[in-house]
Structure 1
Amino acid sequence: MNKKMIGALALATAATSFATVSAEGRTQISIVGSSTVFPFASVVAERFGQTTSFSTPTIESTGSGGGLSLFCQGVGESTADITNSSRRIKQSEVDLCASNGVNDIVEVLIGYDGLAIANNVDGPEMSVSKSEIFLALANTVPNPEGEGLVTNPYRTWNQIRSDLPNSEIRVFGPPPSSGTRDAFVELVMEEGCLEFDAIAALGESDHDKMEEVCATMREDGAFVEAGENDSLIVSRLVNDANAVGIFGFSFLDQNFDKLQSLTVDGVAANFETVADGSYPVSRPLYFYVKKAHVGVIPGIEEYLAEFTSRRAVGPNGYLVDRGLIPLSNAEYGRMKAAADNMTNLSL
């Protein structure tokens, strides 16, 4: 028997053992992943536990990347059933899942979220462009005194633009394992980066170097990785009127009495601007279900049905009251059909 056949037999045996053990083992759905999706999933889980005969799911906020890593560890009751993500799963993560026997995955797009860039309501009102945010936070920037690139020299906002506040650049944001960080790099840093001729020209000679320049955050204290929990960033802003934070819009939506959005490229983040697409920093939110666990861990199908119901994610759904931006009718129809039919992910 060759190694491939042995591996397949081992996975089949493991799956059978999982079904046998779990029938008398774990009864709670195990969910990991995005801190941005966490508050939405927590509301669904609480309602699910209160209105059904199933146990309330356990949810761990690990960040999108961390959650997908845990989700892809394998099949079995010691592994997660569902992972939340504030970005779409990557092909490399699908490959990791497959290498560990996680071959059938259901993708659920629940709605959209703005990526808030905000400060304390007692702090200065700020209007910035993506290129100015890049100058504030990148490790390497165009030389303000001449040609080429230099280590970031900017210490205060008004050094970037004279009418910005004369206050120290101090921005609290997510770590690299977070989907919020991925989204911020893609939607703000990379777009702002390419507005500079020196960096755009670099792409023609060394594309990898250009990508590194666009994505690498400064490490001199101006940008502070504040962990996976967006609520901790909110707490820091509440206690520091000069700081700026980067986090999911739902956290801003729940704290407009304490925080205000920076205006980015002329548009501030609020429900209407995120919903109509005029706010330039928005992203889709997902969760992923391990099909091998459906029918084995009690309640997964029912939890999926609750989370994808119109009462949860529809235009008047209870998650919209918490800051979720709902799908269009066409998007909802496609998502609901895929969820109900447990359609396998296709990248």
Structure 2
Amino acid sequence: MSLLKNYPPSYLYPFRHPKPEGVIEKVLFNLGSLFRSAGQGMDELGSLMLGNGGMQESVGPNLAYAPVKYNPAAAPKAGIVAPIPASAQRVLGVKEIVLPSKAESTFIAPNANVLGDVKIGAKSSIWYGAVLRGDVNSIEIGDNTNVQDNVTIHVAKHSIDGKLRNTVIGNNVTIGHCATIHACTIADNVIIGMGATVLDGVKVESGSIVGAGSIVPPNTVIPAGQVWVGNPAKFIRNVLPEENGFIASSANNYDLLGQQHKFENSKVFEEMLVEEEIAKDRELLEDKNLAVHQLYIFDPQTQLAARPRR
């Protein structure tokens, strides 16, 4: 098909933006990077020269991965402190911001909100509609942990006992859809059921399960390997051996699913055009009124079959 011929195989899935190999390609790549950097610098300089009366172009921020204002009185524990461009300093009145920190293998859904002093570990996933607000304290999430759709994770700047409370979530944790996690500590290998609420100062120890819809009152300690259910949540029984296996498989399954969603959500425009062309060819191939049943091309990177047009 025509579009597959226009792009080298290394450009298409799953290996995106390959490094330049030849001498000419390397020279053009370096020149292109230089021109883009120079253009950004000139835009910033022009904005400064215009002053406060100049037009300020505004684009809505991508809240899937957004900073908050740096507060020297509350030094970040999980995020990254970074300077901002001079033009933005003049508009916002701040010089530094706190950026969330994440691993390369982390999946963050495009409509999730991850704000400020947040650190997310490797192979973890933040799903659609989830909100992680590290605006007044820190949120730390370990490796291979999944925060499912519409979960809210927040912290405490003010509490009844006067303590500042951050939120710490360990490794291999599953937090079910629509749960609320507020200023608490969740250890490794835990499941928080769908719609559950875990409040300030709670400690959920390793290998435990909080049932769906349960509310865990402030400062509760859930011992390791126990199942707590209800409102207020209470001890029901110990975790069964098969449930321990489910805790592990849930985390691993969401890691694999997260990588698939990360791939789909990061496609560039050219890749979507390729898929559109492949879909059109498939329709033609499935048309029983056509006598063309040959000249298939199997693309090992897309894992799809296509037919070139003459």
Which structure is larger by alpha-carbon Rg, 1 or 2? 2
Regarding TM over 0.5, the answer is: no
Which structure shows the bigger proportion of residues in strand conformation? 2
Q: What is the TM-score with the length of structure 1 in the denominator?
A: 0.20
Q: What is the TM-score with the length of structure 2 in the denominator?
A: 0.21
Which structure shows the bigger proportion of residues in helix conformation? 1
